[in-house]
């Protein structure tokens, strides 16, 4: 964040306009953004393009390979359920889960990090100590306890994963806030009589948003991968619902006899993850935030 950000908001869009221009200049970023847009559109509309339902069993087409001559374009699973519809529905759930968990950790992380970084001193020390202790606990341990408590409510579960996955976000925001706290415009705001809450909300948070967005872009694929691990354990999305993770986990069991059951959802997951990574990298360059 090199551009001077003063009281007047007119400066802030400048950074964003520059970033957007740089982003538009990058072919990789454009490709990644369009890939994500296409997948999101497919995830929302796709299941309606095909007459099959995600949980309907077609007894005449058990484990049918992909093909356009029949109604199951991407084939069927061992129970005869349509994989086109299930994969796109799984994409929708994986995306929703990734975004939801990221959003929650964004909110908690910004709040916690900004307060710690701005308060400094003993408060900061204590708050960082809490983060140190929490990051010493294995994430999967929390998550299993959460599945016990929240059970089958997937969205609640993933909101909870976000609520415990905010540690890195808080660290990043705290570091940024500590640097910003010393800048003149904060002093000016203080002199003008702004209270700590106003300074945090109006002056600190808008200036840490760059690195936060970059990290968030990289966090979405992490959560999606984590969900696939949970699904492998049987703790993620429950049947007959599907996520990319559950589809890949069940496809992996059939990879010898019916490779498409693994390859199709894997390909979608790979495209999604690669696109988010490329977009995150491009954003990092465009906003010039350095290493995270």
Point out which span in 73-81, 90-98, 112-120, 141-149 binds other proteins (CB under 8 A).
141-149
Q: Considering the rule CB under 8 A, would residue 149 count as an interface residue with other proteins?
A: yes
Question: Restricting to residues 198-227, which ones interact with other proteins according to CB under 8 A?
Answer: 221, 225
DSSP, residue by residue, 204-264: IHHHHHHHHHHHHHHHHHHHHHHHHHHHHHT-SSPTTS--HHHHHHHHHTTTTT-THHHHH
Select 6 or 281, whichever has its Cβ closest to other proteins. Answer: 281
Closest CA to 64 of 73, 55, 56: 73
Shortest Å, Cβ 238 to other proteins: 15
User: Measured between alpha carbons, how far is residue 213 from residues 29, 72, 101, 203, 233 in Å?
Assistant: 15, 39, 14, 17, 30
CA distance 241 to 157: 15
Q: Considering the rule CB under 8 A, would residue 73 count as an interface residue with other proteins?
A: no
Q: Considering the rule CB under 8 A, would residue 197 count as an interface residue with other proteins?
A: no
Q: Considering the rule CB under 8 A, would residue 22 count as an interface residue with other proteins?
A: no
Window 225-264: contact mask with other proteins (x via CB under 8 A): x--xx--xx-----------x--xx--x--xx-----x--
Residue 82, beta-bridge partner list: 76
Select 67 or 290, whichever has its Cβ closest to other proteins. Answer: 290
Residue of 136, 195, 197, 257 that binds other proteins (CB under 8 A) = 136
- Using CB under 8 A as the binding criterion, the count of chain residues that bind other proteins stands at 37
Token couple for 85: 């519809």
Q: Considering the rule CB under 8 A, would residue 44 count as an interface residue with other proteins?
A: no
For residues 62 and 79, is the Cβ–Cβ distance under 8 A? yes
Residue of 115, 266, 279, 283 that binds other proteins (CB under 8 A) = 266
Shortest Å, Cβ 252 to other proteins: 5
Select 137 or 201, whichever has its Cβ closest to other proteins. Answer: 137
Question: Restricting to residues 151-190, which ones interact with other proteins according to CB under 8 A?
Answer: none
Q: Considering the rule CB under 8 A, would residue 267 count as an interface residue with other proteins?
A: no
Shortest Å, Cβ 59 to other proteins: 29
Q: Please report how many Cα atoms fall inside a 13 Å half-sphere around the Cα of residue 75, on the Cβ side.
A: 16
CA distance 281 to 26: 11
Select 23 or 194, whichever has its Cβ closest to other proteins. Answer: 23
User: Measured between alpha carbons, how far is residue 137 from residues 155, 215, 230 in Å?
Assistant: 23, 22, 17
Q: Please report how many Cα atoms fall inside a 13 Å half-sphere around the Cα of residue 289, on the Cβ side.
A: 24
Residue 76, beta-bridge partner list: 82
161 Cβ contact list (under 8 Å, min separation 6): 101, 143, 146, 223, 226
Q: What residue ranges bind other proteins (CB under 8 A)?
A: 129, 132-133, 135-138, 140-142, 144-145, 148-149, 221, 225, 228-229, 232-233, 245, 248-249, 252, 255-256, 262, 266, 269-270, 273-274, 277-278, 281, 290-291
């Amino acid at each position: 964040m090199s551009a001077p950000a003063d009281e007047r908001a007119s400066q802030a869009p400048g950074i964003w306009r520059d970033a957007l221009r740089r982003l538009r200049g990058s072919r990789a970023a454009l490709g990644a953004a369009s890939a994500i847009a296409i997948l999101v559109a497919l995830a929302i509309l796709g299941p309606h393009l095909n007459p099959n339902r995600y949980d309907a069993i077609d007894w005449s087409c058990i484990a049918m390979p992909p093909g356009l001559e029949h109604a199951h374009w991407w084939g069927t699973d061992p129970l005869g359920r349509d994989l086109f519809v299930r994969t796109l529905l799984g994409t929708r759930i994986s995306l929703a889960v990734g975004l939801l968990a990221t959003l929650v950790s964004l909110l908690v992380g910004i709040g916690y990090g900004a307060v710690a970084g701005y308060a400094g001193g003993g408060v900061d020390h204590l708050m960082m100590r809490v983060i140190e202790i929490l990051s010493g606990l294995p994430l999967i341990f929390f998550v299993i306890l959460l599945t016990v408590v929240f059970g089958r409510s997937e969205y609640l579960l993933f909101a909870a994963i976000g609520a415990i996955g905010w540690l890195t976000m808080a660290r990043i925001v705290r570091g940024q806030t500590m640097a910003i706290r010393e800048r003149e415009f904060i002093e000016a705001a203080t002199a003008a009589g702004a209270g700590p809450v106003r300074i945090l909300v109006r002056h600190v948070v808008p200036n840490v948003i760059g690195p936060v967005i970059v990290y968030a872009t990289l966090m979405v694929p992490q959560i999606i991968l984590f969900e696939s691990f949970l699904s492998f354990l049987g703790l993620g999305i429950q049947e007959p619902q599907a996520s990319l993770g559950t589809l890949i986990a069940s496809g992996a069991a059939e990879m010898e006899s019916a490779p498409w059951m693994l390859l199709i959802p894997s390909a979608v997951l790979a495209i999604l993850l690669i696109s988010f990574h490329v977009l995150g990298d491009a954003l990092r360059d465009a906003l010039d935030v350095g290493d995270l």
